A and B are shown apart, each in its own frame.
Chain A
Amino acid sequence: MTEIYGWTGKILRIDLTRKKITTVDTMKYARMYIGGVGIAARIAWEEIGPEVGPFDPENRLMIMVGPLTGTLASGSCRVEVLGVAPQQHPPCFSRSGMGGHWGPELKYAGFDGIIIQGRAEKPVYIWIDDGDVEILSAKDIWGLGTYATTKTLRSIHGDDVRVISCGPAGENLCRIAIIQTETENAAGQGGFGAVMGSKNLKAIAVRGSGGVKIARPKEFLSLCLKQSREGNSPHGPKSLREMNISGPNFRRRKCGFCLSVCSGMLWMDVQGEFLPALYTTEQMCYGFNVTSERGRIEARALVGNYGINGWEVSYGIIPWLQLCKQHNLIKEIDGMEIPAPEKPIRYLRDCAPVTPEFLAMLLRKIAYREGPIGDALADGACYAAERLFGGKGKPLLDRIYPRHAGQVEHWAGHWGPGGNIYWPMWLTTVLQWCVDTRDPASDTSHSWTSHVQRYLPKIGPYRGPIPPERIREISMKVYGDPNVLDPSVEYDPPEARAIPAIWHTDMGMVVDSLILCDSEYPRIFSSTSKDGMADIELMAKLFSACTGVDMSMNELRKAGERIFNLLRAIDVRNYGRSRRIDESTIDVGFNYPGKDDGKMLDKRKFLKLLEKYYELRGWNKESGWPTREKLEELGLKDVADELERIGRIG
């Protein structure tokens, strides 16, 4: 057998019902699907049918890393979690990513991922010590928060083990339960913590002392050093060297194995506002709108420890409760008045801050499903709206949740959290929202929104470093169309908005399969290069030097296209995804003026964009289903056959 570089060559398969531990040969899939999301999509296509619900033992919880995980490549710490996701409304096969140090540790232990199936009879955790894998009793950690779980497992197995776990929220099958690692990093969206809970799986602890073999170490090292010198991630041209890294009670902290400027604040020994505890916890990515700074930090510690999706609580549930109060559906919870502003809430920014007491009460109720309100909110606002107030709160979801699909709108210029993206650039992001199974703003649209906001000459109030006369030229080179980066082009020609939606989605699939970080790749612009462009081949170069399998960026992008088409095929086969569902996204979720530019989406014109998207994708314009021609071109003939058999081929 030839030596394998990059990949470890083995994916762990653990059947909790039969207590059987086996391995799958990664290389069987690697050529077509790379790793991470790609391989998991293929396994899902083969193993997860339409009948499988999120909490069924037959659901697969796939926790994946990729060939570049745990290497020097910037942003290589990430893990992708896939399975039928309970937070999705209705549930469907989806994905969520997390950073931290767990993914590289799994790789060093010798695995490219873990497929978990079945359900343990009693609570268990999985202990992976290099090649040795054990299923152990979790009776001493069941019921603990994620922080305490990690500390306990470290006291048993050693300070150097890395742990992912679900908190009480996961155990109680809250649809908004997360999988947490350390104090900040989590697979937040999708509710995969509850999938762990449903399998009676509390945690996975890993220690790995191996490494990732690199096919061409010198080349790989020089690529990474060059990247480090040049900076210029999608996060902007700034460098960490120019930043204040620490203060008396905080330090900046990164996920691990990453060079970009993106970093969180690790607060140390912060006195709790509500509980008499000293918190050491990280804050990044999102925040709570709390009346006090200390309360905000405390909320982050509580939410991580309970294992709740704080993003959903902060940007979805609390605003929705405030809207419900404004519409006289509810006034208080447990005698505590729900804070709400005087003015009607139109955007997230209109919401009122909450007190630490209120937040602590709400989080506890969600994590333990306390009372009818807690029990309903534990499933997220989309499910709660069906159960509470006789369904009267459902229309109030419209602005917050596109398609009521379970996840809060962000990075598409409307509801609010995340960043600001201006007209007409958010048309591209809205297109991505239409066709995805989750909020695409994590892996597929992040690179688009970050880039246009931080580098273009003028988008809204922003002014990036790229000179205006360069824009059309760069646009042509990257996307093969000069209009894409031109903010003066709106709906016409439709390619201008559809091409980047596809390009960034496919690149996102590549990023999720290698696995790198969506905040780091793909790189388009550079403030230091002569032509204003970053090395567009960078990901391909890193992949080739690491694995010794030479692929160009176009070839990798083709793999990304294959992976996204396969995800679409799963969505079509299992859940009847169609154009009708895609289209409903703009009726619910984007049917109001953009938050920063006041621009209203024109449905008639937008549908032209959607049709162009389908056309460029090679999907049927009427049904939104992939065509046989496209699937066969991508080497997915068996997928086409199956879709044809059930009458859903485009």
Chain B
Amino acid sequence: MISEFKVQRSGVIIFDEKRCVECRECEVACSLFHEGECNPSLSRIRIIFDDFIPRFPSAVVCKQCDWPACYYACLSLHENPAIYIDERTGARVIDENRCLGCGECARACPLMPENPVIKHKVVNGRRVYFKCDLCKDREDGPVCVEICPSGALTYIPANQRRGLK
């Protein structure tokens, strides 16, 4: 029964807090690539930091779970589900054209709401959800990883990913 729902493993973006310089270039690179504008609130990755607090930065980005709750939520609710598994990268992807804006994926996500990895926006008056898709069709891999000047972000392809992360 379980194997029926098992999906292929995904690649993942990992974050090294000890190498982040909080420049936020990843945020604007992401929104520029996906939305054509530089806008952190439309970014699929956010860097959280407070210079007054003695803590290393953290990143808010989808962990592309082995058992993706967002995907199952969408699958179980909709006849024509919006979330699918990208074959090449394994990314759990929301198809914006099919998304009905119900938000069940965001509610199902174990990281939410503290870490807003699934967000929503309004496109032509329609509410749609969006999340990290590992820049699935981009030849050079995730754009945030490529732009990162200090090597804080790394892309691990599915076949090199280990453990339950």
A217 engages B149 (CB within 8 Å): no
- The answer to whether B150 and A251 have CB atoms under 8 Å apart is no
Q: When the two chains form their complex, are residues B39 and A254 in contact, meaning their CB atoms are under 8 A apart?
A: no
Centre residue among B20, B21, B24 by max chain A CB count within 10 A: B21
Interface membership of B165, Cβ < 8 A: no
Q: What B residues does A240 contact at CB under 8 A?
A: 21, 149-151
Residue B18, interface by CB 8 Å: yes
**Chain A: minimal CB distance from B98 (Å):** 24
Residue of B nearest to A228 (CB): B147
Q: Does A245 contact B (CB under 8 A)?
A: yes
Whether B111 sits at the interface, judged by CB under 8 Å, is: no
Which residues of chain A in 219-270 are interfacial with respect to chain B, using CB atoms and an 8 Å cutoff?
A: 220-221, 224-225, 228, 239-241, 243, 245-246, 249, 251-260, 263, 266, 268-269
- Which residues, 39 to 59 on B, are CB-close (under 8 Å) to A? 39-42, 50-57
With contacts A210-B39, A214-B37, A228-B149 taken as known, whether A257 is within 8 angstroms of B28 at the C-beta atoms is: yes
Return the contact of A254 from the options B23, B41, B56, B147 (Cβ within 8 A).
Answer: B23
Q: A210-B39, A263-B21 are in contact. Are A221 and B143 (CB under 8 A)?
A: yes
Instruction: Please name all residues of chain A whose beta carbon is closer than 8 Å to the beta carbon of B72 when the two chains form the complex.
Output: none
Q: Quote the shortest CB–CB distance from A286 to chain B (angstroms).
A: 18
Q: Closest residue to B39 on the A side, CB-wise? A: A211
Residues on B with C-beta less than 8 A from A387 are: none
Nearest CB in chain B: distance from A277 CB, A: 12
Pairwise interchain contact B41-A211, C-beta atoms closer than 8 A = yes
Size bin of chain B's contact surface: 35 or more
Q: Is the CB of A151 within 8 A of B23?
A: no
Give Cα distance in the complex from A184 to B150, angstroms. Answer: 20
Q: Which of A108, A249, A269 contacts B39 (CB 8 A)?
A: A108
B29 touches A (CB below 8 Å): yes
| A217 in contact with B52 given A211-B31, A245-B19, A259-B25 (CB within 8 Å) | no
Q: For A213, list chain B residues within 8 Å (CB).
A: 36-37
Partner of B18, one of A101, A150, A243, A246: A246
Q: Does A334 contact B (CB under 8 A)?
A: no
The answer to whether A280 has its CB under 8 Å from any CB of chain B is yes
**Chain B residues with Cβ under 8 A from A151's Cβ?**
52
Tell me if B147 and A259 are in contact (CB < 8 A). Answer: yes
CA distance A72 to B37 in the complex (A): 9
Known A147-B52, A240-B21, A253-B22: A209·B41 in contact at CB below 8 Å = yes
A182: interface (CB < 8 Å) = yes
Residues of B within 8 A of A435 (CB): none
B29 near A253 (CB under 8 angstroms)?
no
**Docked-complex contact A212 and B39, CB < 8 angstroms:** yes
A38 at the interface (CB under 8 A from B): no
- A260-B149, A280-B52 are known contacts; what are 13 more A-B pairs with Cβ within 8 Å? A70-B28, A72-B38, A108-B41, A209-B41, A212-B38, A217-B32, A224-B29, A225-B146, A239-B149, A241-B149, A243-B150, A251-B20, A257-B28
Contact sample, A vs B, 28 pairs, CB 8 Å cutoff: A71-B32, A71-B38, A72-B32, A72-B38, A151-B52, A183-B52, A209-B41, A210-B39, A212-B38, A214-B32, A214-B37, A217-B36, A217-B37, A221-B32, A221-B33, A225-B143, A225-B146, A225-B147, A228-B25, A240-B21, A240-B149, A240-B150, A240-B151, A253-B21, A255-B23, A258-B149, A259-B25, A266-B51
List chain A positions with a Cβ less than 8 A from chain B: 70-72, 74, 101, 108, 147, 150-151, 159, 182-184, 209-214, 217, 220-221, 224-225, 228, 239-241, 243, 245-246, 249, 251-260, 263, 266, 268-269, 278, 280-282
